[in-house]
Chains A and B, each alone.
Chain A
């Protein structure tokens, strides 16, 4: 793959005209396959950065590229399609729909992204088998086979289902927002190992956002959002 998986250039964002700048990034990029740890305390513009990458928010100035496509320059439905096709998300908690089975939860992105559906279908045994393979890799093969409900799983197990879902259909970018903050230290390390192993296999870029710097071992690069966000500094001082 040529170029960057993610690239933000000259991005300035404020919630509405006249409001103070929330995010002001000169340059921020991640190469394909890169494992990037973005460190950011609250108020550093983390949530805004994620919303920009997801195409939920649009910057007033600058470029937000996901695999070469500028989200600010494509129509809304295309932005939704890019998010569905190219990005797997893992959030802090409550990632799963309680009324779907584990496998159905994992296959959820395939409902909205024909691209990921096609890739999952192309796996040996088809999409269902691919979901089960990912779940088994996450140590949840038995739980999935036993038809366990989401509510019966521990938080750590739920996060691993979320990881499997982010990985299904091999999206080029995995964005994880504090996925381990609800886990204990051992579970955190195990979760990261699994995530890296799977992302490494599909060649996905991992953008891991956390306020906890102790987790940065194993990443190719660590970026402090507060340092590169010229808007956050001002706000941080004010707060």
Chain B
């Protein structure tokens, strides 16, 4: 006759104060949902981030920072400060310890999506997640000069089908006012969804990039110079420069010596980075934001618990009669302490459970948006041990927070006894 009767009273007393208790519960639930959501985003984003590129031993670009190189070459964010000459690329590709190379040429866009000039080797050698290669959902790699291969998201967002024409804009404006409309492309293939920046890329051949810029100079069409699409086919379209190169080495060990050789390349200042190292470096950069996000969600939980504590403390005075009645029927001050701690425990447990429910509801609701807009695929899975630990910590913190008003009730009942003067 100790724990259970007190718990029963706690639940009934809480139910009696539905309005205030309900709001407190909502605050707790929302804060728990937020913590779980941030945690989910953090782990999934990190996993999806690390899965962006795999199987590539080195990324080579003009000398800048490794994070910058990774950003423009892999994530299609920002711009290259400089290019690599075709000559240097040829020399790197010819080295005996190099197994394969994929040249990348960036700088144009199509309705907000980056256009990437590359070769057919891109579709053979690019790997993401656990060494998964790119797959075509329809069509295939480019065969004609003006063929384009679309990432899954590009095709979905713009509604392109196989054979549709598309015009590449010069530069990166969403609707470039200067574009290459004299040389339209044709959709030759659409890639299957990868959950990486590949989905948001329009792929064309290196020669095509060269072709649309034949009659351009310094970012503008040369006045009076007109080269038609048919004429350009008969020209030499070997690029003079490219933006970056993905390199596969013959062995893991060869990658390191290759990296050093490229970094010490004399003819041109180049930079070769190991993708894994650069990814980690980039993630560390975001670590501060990640930690700030986690700290904010913890603060929100603390605020929720504080709200509960305030509600209970404020309720103490109006519940003096209730406490006095319990004392008169034989409750000890310790029972009243237990009553309030039980209330806090019930409230935070219910808050944690409701928060978990809200979290899954929000996950189900926002999953499609996160997937299509940000390429972030969140799996609906059972709560992890880490999630359960978070929930446990919330309940424990709630019980501790409840001890403060409980101590108040204990003291008050000692002072009031059974007689309360109203």
Using a CB–CB cutoff of 8 Å, the interface residues on chain A facing chain B are 47, 50-51, 54, 56-57, 76-77, 80-81, 83-85, 89, 91, 94-100, 104, 108-109, 111-114, 117, 165
Q: Mark interface residues in B317-336 (1 if CB within 8 Å of A CB, else 0).
A: 00001100111111110010
Most buried by A among B5, B322, B326, B418: B418
For residue A111, which residues in chain B have a CB less than 8 angstroms away from its CB? 1, 5-6, 9, 329-330
For residue A113, which residues in chain B have a CB less than 8 angstroms away from its CB? 330
Give B5 Cβ to nearest chain A Cβ, in Å: 4
Q: How far is the CA of A80 from the CA of B6 in the complex (A)?
A: 16
For residue A50, which residues in chain B have a CB less than 8 angstroms away from its CB? 418-419
Residue contact A98 to B332, C-beta cutoff 8 Å: no
Instruction: Say whether chain A's binding surface is mostly helix, strand, loop, or mixed.
Output: helix
In the complex, residue of chain A having the shortest beta-carbon distance to the beta carbon of B5: A111
Residue contact A109 to B329, C-beta cutoff 8 Å: yes
**Residue B16, interface by CB 8 Å:** yes
**Residue B132, interface by CB 8 Å:** no
Residue contact A96 to B417, C-beta cutoff 8 Å: no
Q: How far is the CA of A212 from the CA of B217 in the complex (A)?
A: 111
A96-B332 CB under 8 A given contacts A56-B417, A111-B5, A112-B1:
no
**Residue B130, interface by CB 8 Å:** no
Q: How far is the CA of A57 from the CA of B328 in the complex (A)?
A: 13
Residue contact A54 to B332, C-beta cutoff 8 Å: no
In the complex, residue of chain B having the shortest beta-carbon distance to the beta carbon of A82: B330
Q: How far is the CA of A83 from the CA of B335 in the complex (A)?
A: 14
Residue contact A54 to B328, C-beta cutoff 8 Å: yes
Interface residue count on the B side (C-beta < 8 Å): 23
Give B284 Cβ to nearest chain A Cβ, in Å: 54
Residue contact A56 to B327, C-beta cutoff 8 Å: yes
For residue A104, which residues in chain B have a CB less than 8 angstroms away from its CB? 12
For residue A100, which residues in chain B have a CB less than 8 angstroms away from its CB? 9, 12
For residue B327, which residues in chain A have a CB less than 8 angstroms away from its CB? 56
A84-B329 CB under 8 A given contacts A99-B13, A111-B9, A112-B335:
yes
Residue contact B321 to A83, C-beta cutoff 8 Å: no
In the complex, residue of chain A having the shortest beta-carbon distance to the beta carbon of B8: A111
For residue B13, which residues in chain A have a CB less than 8 angstroms away from its CB? 97, 99
**Residue B15, interface by CB 8 Å:** yes
For residue B332, which residues in chain A have a CB less than 8 angstroms away from its CB? 76-77, 80, 112
Q: How far is the CA of A111 from the CA of B339 in the complex (A)?
A: 13
Q: Mark interface residues in B334-375 (1 if CB within 8 Å of A CB, else 0).
A: 010000000000000000000000000000000000000000
Give A207 Cβ to nearest chain B Cβ, in Å: 14
For residue B6, which residues in chain A have a CB less than 8 angstroms away from its CB? 111
For residue B12, which residues in chain A have a CB less than 8 angstroms away from its CB? 99-100, 104
